[in-house]
Chain A
Amino acid sequence: MKKHSVWVLEYSRSPVHPVSGVFYGAHNQGTMNLPFSYVLIKIGDAVVLVDAGHDAGDFGGRIADSIGVTGWTHPSVVLAECGVSPEDVTHVILTHAHFDHAGGLKYFPNAQIYMQRKELESWMWILSKGPRFRSLQAGLNPADVLYLTQANTEGRLTLVDGVYSDVVPGVHLRPAFDTHTAGSQYVVVETAPGSRLVLSGDVIYTYRNLVGDDLDHRQFIPPGLANGSQTRLIETAEEMMSIVDDDYRHVIPMHEEKLHEYYPSKLTAGGLRIVEIALAAEDESRV
């Protein structure tokens, strides 16, 4: 019997994301659709959000506009599809600090925020290195750093060192250092005894990153965008696969457009997709 409900909630999308950012070595392949999502987990009274999206009314919105992101929808509208308000969110887990994952934190004023200590330290190191390292700063919104600082003064920031078990019962954090970013992490959800989901963050963008182009001859294709190394991305993908007993469908990539081919889903009135990954025994379906 499942204890957790898990939904992937699309909040905006880019119809023109460079393919080369998603698949290493995919030169000259133009652009692709890329949904932007966060993941909602409910267990008992706990309401956990994995990543917070970006803020369209802020600097992050200006960047999003400039790179073709459309359809941004306020978290109050997105979460309402699952009967939750932003104020109900008790925990936000940041897989990493890029603007499209950390920029929406201000909408969740009651949440305790969890991120890897190394993620913060690495951004500080990059900034200390000056303009020659500017390309490594890409995607970090200074306003998000200020928000994290504010949350820290309010006692709402928890810095994690590596593996962290039971943020709430059955929800665990695993480090993915030197992959997409230096201090990335991913989330393991034990939905029932012996049944696990992996929420991959940007270590895996799509299923193609996990299995390649031929299910009979699988190979990892790491994402193109990495401050860390392609080798570490592949090693971490292998680690994820071992957690889900090699069933790639139990790894949940937040930028995967075809999740609805594997799990029940619906389109909202605004044209954004909600995918129901797991449903707790006491919960009602939202799709």
Chain B
Amino acid sequence: MAGFRYLCTAASDDSTVREQLTQLGELLAIVSFLKLASDTRGLSIQSPLLHERAEALLRAVSGRRDRQWTDDIAAHGHFHLMSARSQLEKALSALRRGKLTGHVKVMTLLTGARSELERASALLGAAIFDASSCCAIHTNVEETNEKAFCLGA
């Protein structure tokens, strides 16, 4: 969008790193599933699409590596996220090599990534997956509001 400028404030640091946490959580699930599928006969999966999605997630997170953080917690969380990313990237790469892959190595990498995500999650006070559409708290019932869809002038 013309004229849009991204402001690197603590608030945006926080939202950025939380999004990275969610993306890497999704990546952990995908690489774990790929490992499970590689060990299991007869699973009908979209392996090329899962690999494609994994690559997209790796790109999405790595694109922010050179960021200057203004918030210490976000920076610390980001450190653990990058460690998780690195281990997930190695696990994905090992899975691509197929039969040469030792399952112990992949499981070690996945377990390590999980621990790093847990550390980041604790620091940020955020979860790595979403439950808003299944169990979000709604303490107030929806109100009748004639202006609920005010689209502006």
Binding site for B on A (CB under 8 A): 14, 16-18, 20-21, 27-31, 58-59, 62-63, 66-68, 98-99, 117, 120-121, 123-125, 127-130, 134-135, 137-143, 145-146, 148-150, 152-153, 159, 225
Instruction: Decide if B45 touches A134 in the complex (CB within 8 Å).
Output: no
Instruction: Decide if A14 touches B129 in the complex (CB within 8 Å).
Output: no
Chain B residues contacting A137 (CB-CB under 8 Å) are 26, 129-130
Instruction: Decide if A141 touches B50 in the complex (CB within 8 Å).
Output: no
CA distance A125 to B141 in the complex (A): 34
Instruction: Decide if A130 touches B53 in the complex (CB within 8 Å).
Output: yes
CA distance A6 to B84 in the complex (A): 42
The smallest C-beta distance from A119 to any residue of chain B, in angstroms, reads 11
Instruction: Decide if A31 touches B127 in the complex (CB within 8 Å).
Output: no
Given contacts A59-B121, A128-B46, contact A18 B110 (CB under 8 A): no
CA distance A14 to B26 in the complex (A): 26
Q: What would be 6 A-B contacts, judged by CB atoms less than 8 Å apart?
A: A27-B142, A137-B129, A138-B130, A149-B39, A159-B43, A225-B133
The stretch from B6-14, B28-36, B67-75, B145-153 touching chain A is B28-36
Specify the main secondary structure of chain A where it touches its partner. helix
Chain A residues contacting B121 (CB-CB under 8 Å) are 59, 62
The smallest C-beta distance from A46 to any residue of chain B, in angstroms, reads 25
CA distance A58 to B25 in the complex (A): 13
Name the residue among A142, A145, A150 with the largest chain B CB count within 10 angstroms. Answer: A142
B131 contacts partner chain A, Cβ-Cβ < 8 Å: yes
> Residue on B with the closest CB to A34?
B135
Instruction: Decide if B35 touches A124 in the complex (CB within 8 Å).
Output: no
Binding site for A on B (CB under 8 A): 25-26, 28-30, 32-33, 35-37, 39-40, 42-46, 49-50, 52-53, 56, 103, 107, 110-111, 114, 117-118, 121, 125-142
The smallest C-beta distance from A162 to any residue of chain B, in angstroms, reads 14
Residue from A99, A127, A139, A153 within 8 A of B107 (CB atoms):
A153
Chain B residues contacting A142 (CB-CB under 8 Å) are 25-26, 28-29, 32, 114, 117, 128-129
Given contacts A125-B45, A130-B56, A153-B103, contact A138 B26 (CB under 8 A): no
CA distance A121 to B129 in the complex (A): 19
Specify the main secondary structure of chain B where it touches its partner. helix
Residue from A16, A123, A130 within 8 A of B33 (CB atoms):
A123
The smallest C-beta distance from B80 to any residue of chain A, in angstroms, reads 14
> Residue on A with the closest CB to B33?
A124
Instruction: Decide if A159 touches B40 in the complex (CB within 8 Å).
Output: yes
CA distance A150 to B39 in the complex (A): 11
Instruction: Decide if B129 touches A117 in the complex (CB within 8 Å).
Output: no
Instruction: Decide if B142 touches A152 in the complex (CB within 8 Å).
Output: no
CA distance A250 to B41 in the complex (A): 37
Instruction: Decide if B32 touches A31 in the complex (CB within 8 Å).
Output: no
CA distance A154 to B61 in the complex (A): 32
Name the residue among B103, B117, B125, B141 with the largest chain A CB count within 10 angstroms. Answer: B141
Residue from B37, B42, B131, B135 within 8 A of A124 (CB atoms):
B37
Residue from B32, B49, B114 within 8 A of A128 (CB atoms):
B49
The smallest C-beta distance from A252 to any residue of chain B, in angstroms, reads 21
CA distance A66 to B134 in the complex (A): 12
Instruction: Decide if B50 touches A127 in the complex (CB within 8 Å).
Output: yes
5 A-B pairs closest in CB distance = A142-B29, A128-B49, A142-B28, A138-B133, A149-B36
Chain A residues contacting B56 (CB-CB under 8 Å) are 130
Instruction: Decide if A59 touches B127 in the complex (CB within 8 Å).
Output: yes
Instruction: Decide if B33 touches A14 in the complex (CB within 8 Å).
Output: no
